[in-house]
Chain A
Amino acid sequence: MEAVVIGLVLGGLYALLAQSFVLTFITTRTLNFAVGEFVALGAFAAIAVSSWSWLPTPGKVAVGFLAAAVVGALVYRFLVLPFTTQGEHDVRWLLSTVAVSFVMLNLITNVEGPSPQRSDTARISGTVDILGAGVGKQQLVLAGLAVVISLLLIVVTQRTSVGLMMRAVSQDPDTASLMGVSPRAVGAASYFVAMGLAGLAGVLYAATVGASPVMGETLLVASIAVAIVGGLGSLWGPLLGGALYGVLSQVASYQWGAIWGETAGLLLVIVVLVAKPEGLLGRRMEVKL
């Protein structure tokens, strides 16, 4: 039971980052492999303004979101978009986002140093007892946020005109542009929100583990796994994927030791890829003739 509760909570953190992958994938068919560095960017941005006493905590958290969001939109415009112009089989963006990851990691390390720095922004100490399991309040907030943000994204895409544009671009960007919708603008907006979410996760995560250049890198594998399990094409996917991955890896860790946790999670990915390559909630890609 304890493993289940903790797995669900931990899955929330991965789900939040998986949501960034899903968002950019839905609208641009690209994944930003530098997401981990955006986590760090958000965390350090919040630390940079932590001494501004006139700015209330939500403002500081917003700074973390915005810093990552703005850089994310720029990265899309200048380092992703130019490498997607050769049609559906053009995957040069894969290399360019990996390069972005390297460069950002080195830049952040040069500026901030490699050591974790304490971050008190939005820090919530203490533990609560949930069904007999001790859960850090900070982790609980992160998990709750993942759920709230996922639901929010779902409502926005299903109920608003912006969401309608997103869905149109997702299904057929060429035809969407015939409706006066700019797929590039929608793509940039998705990167803005997606990287903003990574930055937001960074601020909250750093309050527990400290901000360091590599803080996001270690979350990357699990987040991609969660996104794949849930389905890269579905905003519900990260919630289901996060819950499954979190619970499975925790239960395996409890039973057989920590190294089996990640292994079990990755086995889950393999099983899903074999049985349902588009992810549990994903839709089979239509083959365009």
Chain B
Amino acid sequence: MKIWSSPSRSAIKLAALATTASLVLAACGGGSDDEASGKADADGIITVKLGVVGPKTGPASLYYEYMAQDFEAFSDDFEEQYGVKFDVVSEDDQASPEETARAVSKLINEEGVHAILGPPLSGNALQVADTVQRSGVPWLLAGPNADEIINYETQPNWAFQTNFTNQQIMSILGERLWADDAKVGIVFSGDGFGQSNLDQLKLWAEANGHELTVEETIQPGAADANAIVKRLEDAGVESVFMGITQGADTATVTRSMEQAGYAPATVMTTGTILTNYKDVAEPSQWENIQIVDPRNFLEGGDKWVLDQVQEATGDAPAIPTNNISTYAMLDIYAQAVKEVGDASDKEAVRQAIEDIKTVHIGPDLTIESPFSADDHKLYTDDPATWFTYGFDEDFNLVNLGTAAECLESGC
């Protein structure tokens, strides 16, 4: 069973070739028409001016693409369902903190957007957290996992997270990794995401009386991870967690594991492995890997979102986890705007988000009242609501049971 087919590159290539010249000449920002008043027009449609920040260009551009895919696949749905239309004003952050700061300030001060979606990378989101919080614009964080982005001491708080957070996944994983008092090692990428993974895992370990035996960084694009693997092996690590942004770097680690003949009992990672991993790894290298995620990729609303993206764009979801969390976020925001009736009343919209009753993910998955004043996280860290996945020969996900079940009876 194949879930999402790889993107057809040839179509992209043609389009890209045709547009490359114009891209080079005109560094373009997303256009916006002035109809986006935030209030209902004659037909009762509210057009929202939504600022979107992400790496449109450069090596991390998949982290912009998933947002674009969601707008392409679902814009009409939201207009139909809630009477809310998104007028997207996009800015390229080139995955750099400086550009992110520039982009965000432009969207807020010059464009006067009603809300901001992005940036998708934790490190860059951290960089602009204060700015956005101070300017009083609903901040839709569908990508980043770092807990540190939201400081609940500032109230009212403007940021909302629809991806799971690192603190949550660590509490799920911690139990698994340290089961039977195993020695645990982490390999994390040298970026905001990896660092946050490390910090949260250490926090959890400390709080639960455990100790992390080995901590190793992998630099993006590293040629090999032999030394890292060797150090894990020498320290007698039996449970390995990989908190790595790029699947390709995860592949480097598992390749070195295979080379060294190192097969720890438990190898856990995150949904980032769904991107960029499979094409550069071999089945023997992913045999043992498991991931945990609060989303059910194989059935129900989460799967529906991914299928819709594939159907509407003709490409595989760029970052499957984030395609889903973006859908959830747009659903929440559209509902809130509908309820307030005016997107420019940002304070009211913020409150409406915080008070949201039912979040819809696709036609048949709902999450009830996820938020409160000091909890702006869509998911919880209840192991019964998280899934554990393994991979088959063709790298299709296999549902091994909930995290709670795996803790109880092993997976």
Direct contact of A and B (CB under 8 A): yes
Interface of A toward B, CB cutoff 8 Å: 2-3, 6, 10, 13, 103, 106-107, 109-118, 125, 127, 134-136, 139, 205, 208-210, 212-215, 217-219, 222, 250, 253-254, 257-259, 261-262
Q: How far is the CB of A101 from chain B (nearest CB, A)?
A: 13
Chain A residues, CB < 8 A from B13: 111-112
Flag the segment in B59-67, B125-133, B173-181, B320-328 that touches A.
B59-67
The tally of CB-CB contacts under 8 A between chains A and B is 114
Q: Counting CB contacts under 8 A, is B367 at the interface?
A: no
Q: Which residues of A contact B58 (CB under 8 A)?
A: 109, 114
Contact at B220–A116, with CB atoms within 8 Å?
Answer: no
Residue from B220, B259, B275 whose CB has the most chain A CB atoms within 10 Å: B259
B221 touches A218 (CB 8 A): yes
Show the binding face of B for A, using Cβ within 8 Å: 7, 9, 12-13, 16-17, 19-20, 23-24, 57-62, 190, 216-228, 230-231, 248, 251-252, 255, 258-261, 275-276, 279-280, 282
Assess whether A210 is in contact with B280, with CB atoms less than 8 Å apart. Answer: yes
CB atoms of B259 and A209 under 8 A apart: no
Q: Are A253 and B228 in contact (CB under 8 A)?
A: yes
* A127 pairs with B258, CB closer than 8 A: yes
By beta carbon, the residue of chain B nearest A106 is: B57
What chain B residues lie within 8 Å of A116 (beta carbons)? Answer: 248, 276, 279-280
Q: Known contacts A208-B255, A217-B221; decide if A109 and B59 are in contact (CB<8 Å).
A: yes
Chief secondary structure at chain A's binding surface: helix
Chain B residues, Cβ within 8 Å of A10: 223-224, 226
A residues near B23, Cβ cutoff 8 Å:
110
What B residues does A253 contact at CB under 8 A? 226-228
A-B contact pairs, 16 of them (CB 8 A): A2-B230, A6-B227, A10-B226, A107-B20, A110-B17, A116-B248, A139-B224, A208-B280, A222-B223, A250-B226, A253-B226, A257-B217, A258-B216, A258-B227, A259-B217, A261-B227
CA of A221 to CA of B282 in the docked complex: distance in angstroms?
A: 28
Q: Which A residues touch B57, using CB under 8 A?
A: 106, 109
Q: Which of B7, B59, B216, B260 contacts A257 (CB 8 A)?
A: B216
Q: How far is the CB of A7 from chain B (nearest CB, A)?
A: 9
Chain A residues, CB < 8 A from B258? 127
Residue of B nearest to A129 (CB): B261
A253 to chain B, nearest CB (A): 3
Q: Are A115 and B275 in contact (CB under 8 A)?
A: yes
Q: Among B61, B231, B252, B259, which residue has its beta carbon within 8 angstroms of that of A109?
A: B61
Minimum Cβ distance to chain A for residue B242 (Å): 13
Residue of A nearest to B229 (CB): A134
List B contacts of A118 (CB < 8 A).
279-280
Roughly how many angstroms separate A119 CA and B295 CA in the complex, as a whole number? 31
Complex: A112 Cα to B16 Cα, angstroms: 9
**Bound: A23/B110 CA distance, A:** 51
- Contacts of A114 on B, CB cut-off 8 Å? 58-62
Q: Is the CB of A257 within 8 A of B231?
A: yes
When distances are taken between beta carbons in the complex, the residues of chain B under 8 Å from A258 are 216-219, 222, 225, 227-228
Known: A114-B61, A116-B276, A209-B280. Contact between A134 and B255, CB under 8 A? no
